[in-house]
Amino acid sequence: MRIVSFICFLLFVSICFALDTVIWNSGDDTVLGQFNYNDPSYGADARLTLGGVSYSSKAQASAYNYATSTLTLMVTYPDSSVAFVTVDCARWSLIAVKKVEPGNDWAGLQYDQTSNQNSLLGVGLANGLLYISRINPVTGDVNVWAKLQGILKSTAFVKSSQTFVVTINTPAGVTAVYMFDSAGQITKNLEPTFAKVPEGYLFQSGPYITTYVPTYNAVISLINFKKGDQFYDNFAYFAPSQAAFSISTMSIDVSAEKVIMVADQTGQEYLYAIAKRSDGVYNFYVYNLATASMFKRQTINTPVLAMF
């Protein structure tokens, strides 16, 4: 949910920050709240606490529907069982809790940004396979589109074309990108290359933490590289027409252990990220996509695990 406010900075630069929905764990509970980009040093304000459950450690284990102000997230109970939890973030009230069958889990969640009841997309993890699916998180109904072999890296949803983008590592160790239309048909299956790689950089892993940038109608990911003894997480734009990830000069601090990010949803040219450093400190970042530069970096006191 985004409540827009405008702040003017030096050099007459105007940037639109937002009051954003975030998720974090606190003790044995999962907390949903709002994070003020205007003054992130104070951390997030709690709005709803889900007692006795932990937010899932799986990649992209939550999704936000901007069309309905609905958040769905995966939580884990003390007995290791897993459930979909769906919340109305306009009223901060619980809509539904739907437990998942034992042995199954979900990741790579994305909403298709419609008000349809089965508007959630995701990847089921069971029996050593990836189940690409359309989901109704309230009823638990699942429509499996495809079964893939491999390890899930990331997903994104391109609103303009209603395309679900799924990136995996195949059993052969190859990066593959599958693109599904709204009916669940595979429209493209690519083995992407990497373009504009900085000199001396060696690919390590990724792409991961993929997100859709509505301002540019683009998909951006993080790619991990190594140069000498240092590791770098660089942002990269995915270009389906060229079957390539184009590496940007923008990067996360070399000491980051875990990174989350979301693009601005109000038409501004900004990307927001939170990274957990190796010393346990959480940093908040703002990147200017127009200039491919870091605009802001600040330590925060809330261990945010997902942001929308």
Question: pLDDT, tens digit, for every residue of 53-66?
Answer: 999 989 899 999 99
CA separation for the pair 13, 9 (Å, rounded):
5
Each residue's pLDDT tens digit, 85-139: 999 999 999 999 999 998 899 999 999 999 998 999 999 999 999 999 999 999 9
Chain centroid to Cα 198, Å, comes to 25
CA separation for the pair 63, 72 (Å, rounded):
5
CA separation for the pair 140, 157 (Å, rounded):
21
CA separation for the pair 16, 7 (Å, rounded):
7
Q: Which two tokens stand for residue 150?
A: 């491999």
Give the pLDDT band (50/70/90) at residue 191: very high
Q: Tell me how crowded residue 8 is: count the other CB atoms within 10 A of its CB.
A: 9
Stretch 20-41: mean pLDDT: 88
pLDDT, position 184: 97
Q: What are phi and psi of 41, to 5 degrees?
A: -65, -25
CA separation for the pair 219, 153 (Å, rounded):
14
Based on its alpha-carbon atoms, the radius of gyration of the chain, rounded to whole angstroms, reads: 19
Q: What would you measure as the largest C-alpha separation in the chain, in angstroms?
A: 56
Each residue's pLDDT tens digit, 72-81: 999 999 999 9
pLDDT, position 254: 66
Give the pLDDT band (50/70/90) at residue 255: low
Higher pLDDT, 125 or 9: 125
Residue with tokens 């429509």: 143
pTM for this model (two decimals) = 0.91
Q: What is the pLDDT of the chain when averaged over all its residues? A: 89
